[in-house]
């Protein structure tokens, strides 16, 4: 069982640290009532809940996660009508060009470079041409002092295969460009987890 499945029961305790970045991402994406939205690595549905709070409920919302335990907790809290599916992000159970908006929050920095490439290729397959991809990752430190202070945590996170891996920083802009996306907005949040919120368009 993955560490994230084991943590499903307690995962929402740390959502206040994710929420500022999730709200920023929702603002960047401006989901409309005509959109089809896919949330990959949905966990306990925090991003889907933020979309609902924003008032931009899409025509169709799908949450995908590899963990049955996460999805079991998600069913009770996501907006009515949300579809939940168990799937690996490398093999999404959706047709080509079937989503107008895809979100992927706090997932890419957990993956190896090779797996990240596979996941981004799959996200591009499912997203319509010109569609919006929203990504949140833990932000790399920006200043010399922050780099120095955070070095022990970053080193431990880089070695971890457990929950500490969630603190690995990653700027995914180069990966997104290589996968066929055009990055057109980047915001950094300092409240909660220091995070990068990126909007990219499928070329």
Burial 23-46 (b: 16+ CB within 10 A, else e): bbbbbbbebeeebbbbbbbbbbbb
136 close to 109: Cβ distance less than 8 angstroms: no
Q: Which ranges constitute the DSSP H helices of 30-172?
A: 46-54, 68-74, 113-126, 144-159
d(CA 73, CA 156): 29
Average pLDDT score over residue span 54-67:
94
Enter the DSSP assignment of 140: P
User: What's the pLDDT tens digit per position in 157-187?
Assistant: 566 566 556 678 999 999 999 999 999 999 9
Terminal alpha carbon distance of the chain: 37
Q: What is the pTM of this model?
A: 0.91
The 10s digit of each residue's pLDDT in 18-58 is 999 999 999 999 999 999 999 999 999 999 999 999 988 89
Which residue segments constitute the domains of the chain, with CATH numbers given?
3-140+168-202 (3.40.50.150)
Burial class (CB in 10 A: 0-12, 13-18, 19+), 192: middle
Q: Is 151 exposed, middle or buried (0-12, 13-18, 19+ CB in 10 A)?
A: exposed
Per-residue pLDDT band for 106 (boundaries 50, 70, 90) equals very high
């Amino acid at each position: 069982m993955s560490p994230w499945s084991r943590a499903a029961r307690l995962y929402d305790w740390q959502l206040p640290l994710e929420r500022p970045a999730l709200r920023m991402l929702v603002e960047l994406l401006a989901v409309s009532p005509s959109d089809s939205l896919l949330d990959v690595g949905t966990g306990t549905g925090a991003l889907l809940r933020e979309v609902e709070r924003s008032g931009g409920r899409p025509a169709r919302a799908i949450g995908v996660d590899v963990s049955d335990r996460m999805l079991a907790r998600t069913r009770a809290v996501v907006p009515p009508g949300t579809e939940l599916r168990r799937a690996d992000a490398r093999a999404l159970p959706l047709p080509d060009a079937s989503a107008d908006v895809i979100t992927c929050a706090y997932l890419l920095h957990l993956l190896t470079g090779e797996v990240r490439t596979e996941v981004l290729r799959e996200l591009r397959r499912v997203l319509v041409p010109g569609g919006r991809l929203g990504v949140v990752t833990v932000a790399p430190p920006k200043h010399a002092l922050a780099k120095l202070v955070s070095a022990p945590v970053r080193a431990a996170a880089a070695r971890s295969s457990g929950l500490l891996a969630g603190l690995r920083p990653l700027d995914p802009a180069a990966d997104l460009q290589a996968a066929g996306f055009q990055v057109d907005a980047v915001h950094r949040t300092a409240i909660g987890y220091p995070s990068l919120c990126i909007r990219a368009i499928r070329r």
